[in-house]
Amino acid sequence: MGDYHRNLKALGEGKTEYQYDNPTANILETFPSPISETNQSEIVIEAPEFTSLCPVTGQPDFARIVIAYTPDKLCVESKSLKLYLGAFRMHRGFHEECVNRIVDDLVSVLNPVRIRVEGQFTPRGGIKLWPSVTWEKKGAS
């Protein structure tokens, strides 16, 4: 195991600062992918306790966020991802906006081969809404 873990702030500090109203890519930390370049491995992460607020009513929305990505050179560190997703708690955004923002922020820090994020939101008014966004690096197949 390399020394790359020494650069991770959220994982090793001993104290955790939670931010519930400002999701930003700056929260996300990465480490070099241990996956061989000859393998096209997919990493799947499920976050079953995602919350955000309706931008109109301010009522809470609940979702399971499923992230599946094929890393290129970097992987996302899971505690920083947890803190990032937790920062949506007081964020006002439609379901589609939240999912798109997660993809955009993860792409900006990871530059993965491909990524797909799905927000499995709890039904409101009897309607299930599960937006998903897929991004793929140009030339990847």
| Mean pLDDT on 112-139 | 95
Catalytic residue among 61, 75, 98, 105: 61
pLDDT at 29 over 90: yes
pLDDT at 48 over 70: yes
Nearest-angstrom CA–CA distance, 70 and 65? 17
In the chain, where are the structural domains located? 43-141
pLDDT in tens, 73-116: 999 999 999 999 999 999 999 999 999 999 999 999 999 999 99
Instruction: Mark whether 75 is an active-site residue.
Output: no
- 22-26, 49-53, 77-81, 123-127: lowest mean pLDDT where? 123-127
The reported pLDDT for the residue numbered 3 is 59
Catalytic residue among 3, 54, 75, 98: 54
User: Residues 48-69, buried b or exposed e (16+ Cβ, 10 A)?
Assistant: eebbbbeeeeeeebebebbbbb
Return the CATH fold of 43-141: GTP Cyclohydrolase I, domain 2 (3.30.1130)
Nearest-angstrom CA–CA distance, 5 and 31? 7
Instruction: Mark whether 61 is an active-site residue.
Output: yes
User: Please, how many CA atoms are within 13 Å of residue 43, restricted to the half-sphere of its CB?
Assistant: 18
